[in-house]
Amino acid sequence: MRAFVLHDHGLSPTLTEHPAPSPGSGQIRLRIVACGLNFADLLMIRGTYQDTPEPPFIPGMEVAGTVDALGPEVTGFAVGDRVAVFGGRDGLAEYGCFDASRAVGIPDTMDDVTAAGFQIAYGTSHLALDHRARLQPGETLLVLGAAGGVGLTAVEIGKLMGARVIACAGGADKLEAARRAGADHLLDAETADLRTEVKSLGGADVVYDPVGGAQFEAAFRACNPEGRLITIGFASGDIPQIRANHLMVKNLSVLGLYWGGFLQFRPDILTGSLATLMDWHAEGRLKPQISHVLPLDRAEEGLELLRTRRSTGKIVITLPA
């Protein structure tokens, strides 16, 4: 099979011929149709992600495809089923073997490209806003990086949950994407005084932050009493340091969210969230935004779009049937 393989951290993965895998116990093998790219793929390639395997390995954390083989002790799936999987790796290849426990059926209302980019972005935002921050109707949600893969879903889900949404993103095109996703107020990250402008809008009750750095610091200071800041990631490359005494003054809470970690200690919460999201999509309440769809031989181009933040919404890599 063809696969996009990383041979050493810091180098670019290369498209090469690679042995096709065979499913082990409890695994299904997929004929992969599409793979969603994530910022975490870049971290994994650099060797700085929390779950980075040793090279050589195949990046690509989430996929959609068709089951073409079953390993021993697999129940609930049959050859020919369309499924989406958060495998954590091995997605940028024509075939992949994944634990059946991580697979979810794709509803007829969802195409494969959408399914490949759905789980992590929507799952992260839903768990962050619903389970971790307990966002309430009428509260003000500030979304940083609001035009990225997860940011747009946070805008959309926050609006569905009844919040007033302030979206912060860089440039007119990205802000327009956030407006289409439902944002009530738009702030240009390149020009706005974030702290001042958010406070002028009444402050933030919940902050959704995949960016870190200076934007986190400004949002922290723009929070209302009992505000909750959800740390999703650090796309800026700068991990902020929090002074505990500042938390005390306004009774603030800083909450971490690592979506994939729930598979280890509370998989029921993660699968329940995905079931809710699939229902919302089937009901037409979610409108996933796919920024770019590229073939496997242009996967490096897709990673570069992520690296340079030139995408709005998800980037999905497709594989030939």
Average pLDDT rounded to a whole number, residues 183-202: 96
What confidence score (pLDDT) does residue 6 get? Answer: 95
263 pLDDT tier (thresholds 50, 70, 90): confident
d(CA 314, CA 147) in angstroms, rounded, equals 10
Q: Which CATH class is domain 121-259?
A: alpha beta
Q: Report the CATH fold assignment for 2-118+288-318.
A: Quinone Oxidoreductase; Chain A, domain 1 (3.90.180)
Examine the pLDDT at 268 and tell me if it is beyond 90.
Answer: no
- By CB atoms closer than 10 A (0-12, 13-18, 19+), residue 160 is middle
Q: Which two tokens stand for residue 186?
A: 């738009």
What confidence score (pLDDT) does residue 122 get? Answer: 96
Residue type, 241: Q
Q: How far is CA 294 from CA 30, 91, 137, 251, 318, in A?
A: 20, 14, 38, 46, 6
Name the nearest CA neighbour of 53 among 90, 22, 84.
Answer: 90
d(CA 179, CA 184) in angstroms, rounded, equals 7
What confidence score (pLDDT) does residue 265 get? Answer: 86
What confidence score (pLDDT) does residue 100 get? Answer: 93
pTM of the model: 0.86
- Least-confidence region, from 47-56, 126-135, 204-213, 224-233: 47-56
Examine the pLDDT at 321 and tell me if it is beyond 80.
Answer: no
- By CB atoms closer than 10 A (0-12, 13-18, 19+), residue 25 is exposed
What confidence score (pLDDT) does residue 73 get? Answer: 94
Average pLDDT rounded to a whole number, residues 117-146: 96
Q: Which two tokens stand for residue 306?
A: 């992520």
Pairing, β 62-70 against β 27-36: antiparallel
- Least-confidence region, from 13-22, 40-49, 149-158, 249-258: 40-49
- How do the domains of the chain map onto residue ranges? 2-118+288-318, 121-259
Average pLDDT rounded to a whole number, residues 227-247: 90
Average pLDDT over the chain reads: 94
Q: How far is CA 159 from CA 30, 95, 122, 131, in A?
A: 35, 37, 13, 16
What is the total residue count of the chain? 321
286 pLDDT tier (thresholds 50, 70, 90): very high
Per DSSP (E only), the strands in the chain are 2-5, 14-17, 27-36, 62-70, 82-86, 95-99, 103-105, 140-144, 164-169, 185-188, 204-209, 223-231, 253-256, 290-295, 314-318
- Least-confidence region, from 189-193, 226-230, 235-239: 235-239
